[in-house]
Amino acid sequence: METIIISLGGSLIIPDQVDVEFLKSFKSLILSHVEQGKKFIIITGGGKICRKYQEAAKEISNPNHDDLDWIGIASLKLNAELLRVIFGEYAQEKVIFNLSLPFVFEKSIVIGAAFEPGQSTDWDAVLGAKNVGAKKIINLSNIDYVYDVDPRLNPDAKKIENISWSEYRKLIPTEWNPGLNSPFDPIASKMAEEEGIEVAIMNGKPLDNLAKYLNGEKFSGTIIK
């Protein structure tokens, strides 16, 4: 039975308000593949609500990286509980916060979140993949591709459809910090390379792009391997 790891960016769950229509469509798509016998581990991101709380903390106080990470972890847990409830009877009854620990699939869908500072949801996705022996991760966010430079700063940025881990890691920072804006974070990237895990980076909207990938069809996005 194939197990698929999805890192679901908070920007898709709650861009400004909770995106109910997106979540309805996401649920329908995932359940259509559950009916085919597939299993899923879905790890949630924090989204704009995470950054709003972190920015408020920085305006009022002088939080360190761990402080900001704990705020982020709380927002991830909230989004994770939302996903668990949305998938209802198809999801494991409790969110798994530490995906590095052995667990048994009691249901077809496991919802995961973060458990300690110093990493992102990308790291948790790699931990989950390593734990269950999965070799592919889908990273869903609001970006279309990995680019050679930041497209928000350079209109001449070139999209990349296929790239090796060694080349990808040259494009991103070497260290993790809370709020880092990177298609796949540096700590998770290093571990994914070591474990031989392939990551597909794609925009979660329109959702039929994910559907194409799940069906083995050509999709718009970047493969890192």
pTM (two decimals): 0.92
**Could you report the per-residue pLDDT of 128-153, keeping only the tens digit for each?**
999 999 999 999 998 899 999 888 88
Residue 52 in contact with residue 23, Cβ under 8 Å?
no
Whether domain 3-224 has CATH 3.40.1160.10: yes
Distance in angstroms (rounded) separating the CA atoms of residues 94 and 71: 21
* Beta-carbon count within 10 A of 98 CB: 14
Q: What value does the mean pLDDT take over residues 58-78?
A: 92
Q: How confident is the model at residue 178 (pLDDT cuts 50, 70, 90)?
A: low
